[in-house]
Structure 1
Amino acid sequence: MSRRTDYFNDPAAPKANSIVPAVTAFVVNDEGAVLMEQRSDNGRWGMPGGVQEVGEDIAGTVVREVLEETGIHVEVVGLVGIFTDPGHVIAFADGEVRQEFSLCFRAQPIGGKIKVSSESFAVRWISKTELDSLNISPTTRRRLDEGFRNAEVPVIS
């Protein structure tokens, strides 16, 4: 199943050979549940997201990735934070080892219907209380905590 391996402050982690602008979307519905997907590349639960493509602005990346991965149309309404921890590296099966560079955006759902994509095993709205029972990476957990904290000023780390 795993086409990627995440390392968190692991001295045995391979050295990063790339940094790629990526986004995640903190999408909360009217009931306070967050949009999550169980990723097909590592089996963990995460927020929808992905890498920016040439020719699109970063808000467009958020909208496209959420729609592609979950079937939900969103509108970007703010920034949760910028996460660039050099202790988090992601090794891909093709040899790329990426240092984390993720912009986490706050978005609101404006339509669509949940669907599973090739990038996920499951997509669900998950209550804040249910999050602790899921397999979630430490960096995703931090983004979720910051999103629910709803600070006026985005976190930069």
Structure 2
Amino acid sequence: MITSEQTEKVRGWFAGRLPEDLFEELAEVVVDREEITVIGRIPPPRQAEGVSDTEREAAVQGRVQEFRERTRETRMGIAREAEHRFGRKVSWGVLCGAERALFTHVAAPVMTRLRQPERRVLDTLVASGVARSRSEALAWCVRLVRRHEDDWLTELRTSLEHVQRVRAQGPDAEAP
């Protein structure tokens, strides 16, 4: 588990390293064992009052694509530095108006052993056409849980961070 202190160090590094004019703000930095995802806010395109939702969505998509292409070299250079420094791949995304767009992100394989009742759930999702494979069905289940996650996951993460702090103060910790 990545601690909040580790995430703060990564976020702080990006806040200091990103060019001032890259984003309006550094909206989010998410860190896990494999990946750092950096999300910045960019300004939405200026449009006349009363444009249709279709036109507004197309303009935002165009703005996101323009930003992605224009900043690619800068972002790739920073990503190389961060990957060397933190030992994780860097993924990028933006918030533009109400739109959230990820440019690249890691799809990390995860191995698991499931008993028959869990396998039957996955097989039902495959048989019904919700997923093409058990792997895709498991990913669908994780996304469903994520969408409905509650305060208890936040509480669990906080508890784990507390346990890690206590362990760090144990007898094997360096003396001041």
Higher relative contact order (CA 8 A, sep 6+): 1
Q: Which has the higher helix share?
A: 2
Q: Which has the higher strand share?
A: 1
Question: TM-score surpassing 0.5?
Answer: no
From the CA coordinates, give the structure whose radius of gyration is larger: 2
Q: TM-score, normalised by structure 1?
A: 0.22
Q: TM-score, normalised by structure 2?
A: 0.20
